[in-house]
Structure 1
């Protein structure tokens, strides 16, 4: 399953084996057919033995064969191309195709197009095997022309052109309008008018099978289930770590087979010595291709020689999440990068030129519709490990600054942007920890990402980021700094969203103290802290402590922002909730309606914050037995949350829970049971079995079932 660069010790040519050693360039050492005026009936020039470990790729082999048979007009004039990253198994696929279909052709011809010299040498070799009269010509161009003419005027042949990475060199030499089949392998993703087949890493199941076969632990006569369970588990873990990349799996299997170290030991070694093992090949001469690192270093060197700034792009991508790197992040982060790379990222034409080069070696894949890039995780590993620790730190810091510069505010209208950024930000958190990069940009990036995750109810992912942001801010700015107050505020908000009031309260208190001291009692940020600390007191039933804080926050916001501002609406809702809890329904209703009107006007009727106002006003009506009004508002809020937040968001579950209670109050038990069952499932999945919200809903659900006599 790998791109082999060396032929086997024994070559089968014209139906006979050549025992001559053929290490090195297979073109130079082909067995020369005897001089004869009679053309041969059959020629077989495949320089590799059939791979006994070949696994999977059936769909590619079937597509190749089907295309040669059914799309005859296209393949006769253009041929077919197998494209992919070096080491992904392109050569092995075409070799396997040749062996599977050798009876379909009288002439199976091979050209190694790795360089002009190998290309020319193999044309000469073909001329000798076909016994062409021009084979004795001194002018190579005449021999090449003779081979092309023969291909154009004969049928029953398959021409495999391997390693055709320099397509402009190869195109003029391929036959046109012929009646045979051309099959080409290249690292270049763009193959012109040829029919292209992109080859990616193996599917997980095929990767596991291939590794076990290569390691000698699974024969073709065995079922996978016959391999010990522990070996299958370790194989799967190793395949996942290697991104199911064929050449890496081949190296691992060869090492395990030769050393008899076993999968468990190799896995332990790989987890600590990954780069070293990726450099190793098997010890049996001629049986194994170059290592992963050697294969890719050759591409890196060619890129560096052709366009040095392209190598910089590779380094940048090596420190980002591999599967979907948004081009928008790169463009927005360009300003904080060093000048050479900033020039590439800020100029679309230069960026496109660099992408053409990187795609020519399949080191980066570009999705033009989604505007994202992709790089295999092993390519990233090799690139990173080829740097010394100081340079790794430099690039990690650059990536953190670039991603931070691309982050928008954590607002609902930017959620689609955050969905693209969040995986990159999570990778940056890894570099913050690995290289102890306590930077202002790192603190801000972790804080914003953590809050976005909290808003999407991904609480377990959010907490370590918000905690790290607070720690970094305290270290680089001090415990009394305003940025530290912001970090305290967001971490407290995470705890409040989960009902962890005791953990949230001291953080809110610290943030308020800092803001009052640094900004004064009338500042808007102070009002924010007053509002949120008041909410914590309110939610814990500490009404006498909560009311003056909320009244003060409302006064500041109305005075400085105006009565129609969204922040004013927030505090109106907070104070309304306090009055509702105290049974002061008229005061609560007036404030809830004011808050709802502001949000509908400023945000629109379908915004998640509008749903918050709808929800709380509905609950107030339920408290008063105004069921029809309550139901209408709750259903509106639920529809907004399902659409905007998703069917599995905890706030969606909250709407479901309170609708269930509304129906339960009216004796509509079947409707209540359906809504509460949905809510419980969401809470169990998103918050956990032991979360207070989950436990409360489960208790209420059991009471409902007892009422329905179903418990």
Structure 2
């Protein structure tokens, strides 16, 4: 074999011929040639000889302490104790024998502080000598580039020798052959991208941050990152030099408005510091110019990291699912938490809706739990704010989402009587979202659908809510104004809203406006809807209620009887509305002192209610309340107590204190009131048992914290008082007062009335204790007919406490009558006036004191 190698440049057009059958001839430079017989010829023009140290095996290279690329630690870092504890427990401890790579994925909404947490924790680990490398891994190419950079950092000589693919491979070999390292993969978009690391790096630790909430099974242990607490967010806002000014309450309110999202709070603080504005000014601008403020940042800020832009990338990733975008914009009009998933049922087939929700949840834009949805309030706020040039948030899409939100709410409200507790569980799930819709929309832009939602929410709130009267009234006034604008003053929906206004004003304690709301109400309804329309009959009921509250019992009773007759003819004799109206007729009878007639009406009515509606129907319980609360008063008025009160006469101007005292004692003894007081009033124990069963039923039907249950508990307090059981009465009063403050708050208007009643019972408790301690002496004094001296003083002391209790019951309040008022007849009012005059006469000036003494 012969061969010719010529590395010279070939001459164009020159003839090249081999010298033999196995020869090789070349017209230019060649690297390797193979002859037909299998011989190989290799020609090397130039060669670079490398030392083994220039390209060592990855397993032989150790970590250099100076190698690091962790982002600067944020000096404003606050909170995150729970997450840091998890990372310390799982990633900082030595690996158990045979255990492979340990990976945790910190996931959450954009701007929630995932990277900040990772940098904070990684910096602390690096300080202990742990090899730490940070890779921004938002895509597979970015991950590969980060691994290549790791290889270059560990062995700089490789940069000029190997292409990026081989650098990436070298880094994976290094991770697979070393232990104790920490690799931070920041902002991972697709969990699949990190599989290459998980499959090759068999003995180390991975800390991943991502907006993706799903697809971590088998890859990493997920750690969901939530917003900061209010205290932590406030600390973040005020930390550092140049603390922005402003009232602490304003700062707390601003942090709450921003949903305690770390990025938003930090940007607001930087903006306030740079522009010398307070938290209150920022809040005001946020309300008036939301689009501008969501785009705002300080001079050093990243325009792509503003609140308006932070979620744009995520929305772009789901833009191929228009339903997902529409759902996100629609959820923006509801409250941020516990949104019933069923509100979305009408948007598409279950698989389609589930798929769209799954994509939103996967990108941390929403959370799903127990058939409910949650959205961060700042995501909602941005989603409601049109942005020029942003196809995801154009005005038309936002308005379409608002229409869908209102329509879905209206469709979800159940049909039926709002006073029926059976509806309340479903309704209470909708009410926060109806209120949120009202809060997030301008009244002048309300549609008929939205006005109807607000009306239904108002009525249901008044019946089913706790401390909800003011909220109910606001929604009702809003709905009425919209109906007037859209349908006119005599539209059916307008008149229905007006009919509900009197009760709503009374529920907030405004007697005057409630009565004014009934003026011309019946006439307007009768003219527009007819006299037999249900709305018209309810209007007439409000007129009757107003007459009763003004003390015109004859007119009130006449109107109620007329209404009950029409309801029986139109709705039926056993309809709840008919029975409820008949129950109110009894209150008129009781107020006029017709105790027997009232008792007979209620007893017969209660029996019918139980038969027709059931013992625990809300109408049945209402009639039973009349029986338990009012009839003991009427029975007392028919016995010695009534005789005592009727026999009381206010003293004249010239009557001395001693004459007043003697007359009061004599009236009490002659009437038999004192003897009944000392020997025990004839109250069967079954009255207490009935009251206890009634309260238990109210707890079941209305709930422990409903106003009706609190009022029902007054019947039990009264029953204990009737049995002269001071211990149980004192306990019941204390428990009711404590629960009322817990449920309603000490300043709620109802507490004035309740406290007045409970103060009266406190005086009764003291009187009963005094009676117990002097019972034998007083009975002895009565038997001897001697009521002078100490016996007289003791008797008058007891009278004084009962008189004080009666005054508490009848003392006027700013709000007027209400649900906690006992239905006391005029005779008691007259007696209270006499008692007031007597007690004033008992205040005898002392020679050595400037002030009056008893």
Tell me the equivalent position of 2:61. Answer: 39
Q: Aligned in 2, Cα 1:412/1:648: closer, same or farther, shift over 3 Å?
A: closer
Tell me the equivalent position of 2:257. Answer: 241
Query: Which of structures 1 and 2 has the larger relative contact order (alpha carbons within 8 angstroms, sep 6+)?
Result: 1
Looking at structure 2, the residues matched to 176 and 607 of structure 1 have their Cα atoms a distance apart, in angstroms, of: 68
1:49 aligns with 2:72: yes
State the aligned residue count: 651
Tell me the equivalent position of 1:416. Answer: 425
Tell me the equivalent position of 1:124. Answer: 148
Looking at structure 1, the residues matched to 95 and 213 of structure 2 have their Cα atoms a distance apart, in angstroms, of: 21
511, 515, 527: which one aligns with 1:517: 527
SS in 2 for 1:189: coil
Q: CA deviation at 1:114?
A: 1.3
Q: How far does the alpha carbon of each residue in 1:230-264 deviate from its partner, in whole angstroms, 9 at most, with x for none?
A: 55444323222211111112212333444455656
Looking at structure 1, the residues matched to 612 and 578 of structure 2 have their Cα atoms a distance apart, in angstroms, of: 12
Looking at structure 2, the residues matched to 269 and 385 of structure 1 have their Cα atoms a distance apart, in angstroms, of: 14
- Contact 1:105–1:156 under 8 Å retained in 2: no
1:480 aligns with 2:490: yes
Tell me the equivalent position of 1:453. Answer: 461
Unaligned runs of 5+ in 1: 1-33, 219-227, 335-341
Q: CA deviation at 1:105?
A: 5.4
Q: CA deviation at 1:155?
A: 0.8
Tell me the equivalent position of 1:174. Answer: 198
49, 55, 61: which one aligns with 2:84: 61
Tell me the equivalent position of 1:322. Answer: 336
Q: How far does the alpha carbon of each residue in 1:120-176 deviate from its partner, in whole angstroms, 9 at most, with x for none?
A: 211211222343998778675555444334323321111111111112233344335
404, 427, 448: which one aligns with 1:440: 448
Tell me the equivalent position of 2:642. Answer: none
Q: CA deviation at 1:512?
A: 2.9
Q: CA deviation at 1:195?
A: 0.6
Q: How far does the alpha carbon of each residue in 1:69-111 deviate from its partner, in whole angstroms, 9 at most, with x for none?
A: 3885998355110001111111111111111112555421222
CA RMSD of aligned residues (A): 3.4
Looking at structure 1, the residues matched to 615 and 471 of structure 2 have their Cα atoms a distance apart, in angstroms, of: 31
Q: Aligned in 2, Cα 1:702/1:586: closer, same or farther, shift over 3 Å?
A: closer
Q: CA deviation at 1:283?
A: 2.5
Looking at structure 2, the residues matched to 166 and 608 of structure 1 have their Cα atoms a distance apart, in angstroms, of: 56
1:404 aligns with 2:410: yes
Q: CA deviation at 1:679?
A: 4.9
Q: Aligned in 2, Cα 1:592/1:100: closer, same or farther, shift over 3 Å?
A: same
Tell me the equivalent position of 2:233. Answer: 207
Looking at structure 2, the residues matched to 527 and 48 of structure 1 have their Cα atoms a distance apart, in angstroms, of: 73
- Contact 2:434–2:453 under 8 Å retained in 1: yes
Tell me the equivalent position of 2:502. Answer: 492
Looking at structure 1, the residues matched to 718 and 164 of structure 2 have their Cα atoms a distance apart, in angstroms, of: 88
Matches for 1:232-311 after TM superposition, within 5 Å: 232-261=248-277, 263=279, 266-267=282-283, 269-284=285-300, 290-304=305-319, 306-311=320-325
Bigger mean CA offset, 379-388 vs 513-522: 513-522
1:619 aligns with 2:643: no
Q: Aligned in 2, Cα 1:630/1:61: closer, same or farther, shift over 3 Å?
A: same
Tell me the equivalent position of 1:383. Answer: 383
296, 301, 326: which one aligns with 1:312: 326
Bigger mean CA offset, 108-117 vs 622-631: 622-631
Matches for 1:586-601 after TM superposition, within 5 Å: 586-601=596-611
Looking at structure 1, the residues matched to 69 and 333 of structure 2 have their Cα atoms a distance apart, in angstroms, of: 40
Q: How far does the alpha carbon of each residue in 1:425-466 deviate from its partner, in whole angstroms, 9 at most, with x for none?
A: 11122245x151343222322221111221125111111111
Looking at structure 2, the residues matched to 74 and 635 of structure 1 have their Cα atoms a distance apart, in angstroms, of: 66
Looking at structure 1, the residues matched to 384 and 695 of structure 2 have their Cα atoms a distance apart, in angstroms, of: 47
Q: Aligned in 2, Cα 1:250/1:528: closer, same or farther, shift over 3 Å?
A: closer
554, 571, 580: which one aligns with 1:561: 571
Q: CA deviation at 1:637?
A: 2.6
Q: Aligned in 2, Cα 1:537/1:260: closer, same or farther, shift over 3 Å?
A: closer
Q: CA deviation at 1:584?
A: 3.6
Matches for 1:499-578 after TM superposition, within 5 Å: 500-508=510-518, 510-578=520-588
Q: TM-score of the superposition, structure 2-length normalised?
A: 0.69
- Contact 2:383–2:398 under 8 Å retained in 1: no
Q: How far does the alpha carbon of each residue in 1:452-507 deviate from its partner, in whole angstroms, 9 at most, with x for none?
A: 22112511111111122222222322223332221122112223445655433454
SS in 2 for 1:184: strand
Q: CA deviation at 1:324?
A: 2.1
1:697 aligns with 2:757: yes
Q: How far does the alpha carbon of each residue in 1:563-606 deviate from its partner, in whole angstroms, 9 at most, with x for none?
A: 33322321231223333333444443343234334443455434
Unaligned runs of 5+ in 2: 1-52, 388-393, 637-681, 771-800, 805-854
Greater gyration radius: 2
Matches for 1:158-197 after TM superposition, within 5 Å: 158-175=182-199, 178-190=202-214, 191-193=216-218, 194-197=220-223
1:685 aligns with 2:775: no
Looking at structure 2, the residues matched to 674 and 375 of structure 1 have their Cα atoms a distance apart, in angstroms, of: 45
Looking at structure 2, the residues matched to 353 and 570 of structure 1 have their Cα atoms a distance apart, in angstroms, of: 49
Q: Aligned in 2, Cα 1:137/1:419: closer, same or farther, shift over 3 Å?
A: farther
Looking at structure 2, the residues matched to 472 and 480 of structure 1 have their Cα atoms a distance apart, in angstroms, of: 13
Looking at structure 2, the residues matched to 522 and 270 of structure 1 have their Cα atoms a distance apart, in angstroms, of: 51
